[in-house]
Amino acid sequence: MATTPRSDISPTDEANGPLLSKGRYRARLAAGRVDIAAVQALRTLCFRTAEIDQDDFDATCAHVLVEDTRSEALVCCFRMLVLEGGHEVARTYSAQFYDLSGLRDFEGRMVEMGRFCIHQGWSDPDILRVAWGAMTAFVDREDIQMLFGCSSFAGTETAEYLDAFAMLKHRHLAPKRWLPRVKAPNVFRFAARLRRKPDAKKAMLRMPPLLRTYLMMGGWVSDHAVVDKHMNTLHVFTGLEIGAIPPARKRLLRAVAG
């Protein structure tokens, strides 16, 4: 499964440099094994896995670290896998859980964003803003046309998230041409099963922050959630076409990225 990382996004490429520095936070690409170990340690802490959170995709992805410049603490991280187009979706992490054949015809460069986490000891909303600013800078620089990944709800019980899933069904399902099909053996088919009208306030309170940000920019989701016992999460495939982001939202993101 492992492939050689793209040379033009290698963390050691001098042209990359820091992606973003805003206020007390700095976002940069991982520069070597020490950084990768720090990223894996933070993921292990956030995802509460029994063993170090690592897989083969770590070797093929670019990793972004968001650090507090005052203490040098790592407060957030995520990884990115760059694809030249939809014909490469089969080699992504998401393809293990979703049938992504509908995306094979997507023309344009894509990025799979994964393993996003923020240190539980930090609650500053600027961390998420800086992370998205760094992603925006990367997207612009690399001419990315779509972001996608798995957005996770904590735990595997669906009851507390029914309003959130109902909201996803009524307002945020993927266009039919891109809609992922069921592949995983254990899924919650919320679009087919839920008949309730969502309580908007409850829905947004239970929506994961990363997914909420995707949706605010015009993102869409699969019609089912995968029950991932290994990671103790429910996750939905999430896509965001860069060309569909509202102009006002683009301006805000680029203001942060700039």
Residue pLDDT, tens place only, 140-155: 999 999 999 999 999 9
Q: 91 in a domain, yes or no?
A: yes
**pLDDT band for position 4 (50/70/90)?**
very low
Question: Reduced to 3 states, what is the DSSP secondary structure of residue 216?
Answer: helix
CA–chain centroid gap for 222, Å, is 14
**pLDDT band for position 257 (50/70/90)?**
confident
Backbone dihedral angles phi then psi of residue 227, each to the nearest 5 degrees: -90, 105
Check residue 19 and give its pLDDT.
85
pTM for the whole structure: 0.90
Q: 1 in a domain, yes or no?
A: no
Average pLDDT over residues 14-42: 87
Query: Which ranges of the chain would DSSP assign to H, the alpha helix?
Result: 33-47, 125-142, 162-171, 190-193, 200-206, 209-216, 247-257
How many structural domains comprise the chain?
Answer: 1
Q: Does the pLDDT value for residue 249 go beyond 70?
A: yes
180-214: per-residue pLDDT in tens? 999 999 999 999 999 999 999 999 999 999 999 99
| DSSP per-residue letters across 10-35 | -TT-TTT-EEEEETTEEEEE--SHHH
Q: 2 in a domain, yes or no?
A: no
Check residue 124 and give its pLDDT.
94
Q: 186 in a domain, yes or no?
A: yes
Check residue 3 and give its pLDDT.
35
The lowest-confidence range among 15-19, 50-54, 198-202 is 15-19
**pLDDT band for position 128 (50/70/90)?**
very high
Q: 226 in a domain, yes or no?
A: yes
Domain of 217: which CATH number?
3.40.630.30
Check residue 10 and give its pLDDT.
39
Q: 107 in a domain, yes or no?
A: yes
Check residue 17 and give its pLDDT.
57
Average pLDDT over residues 36-64: 96
Q: Provide the domain limits for residue 186.
A: 7-257
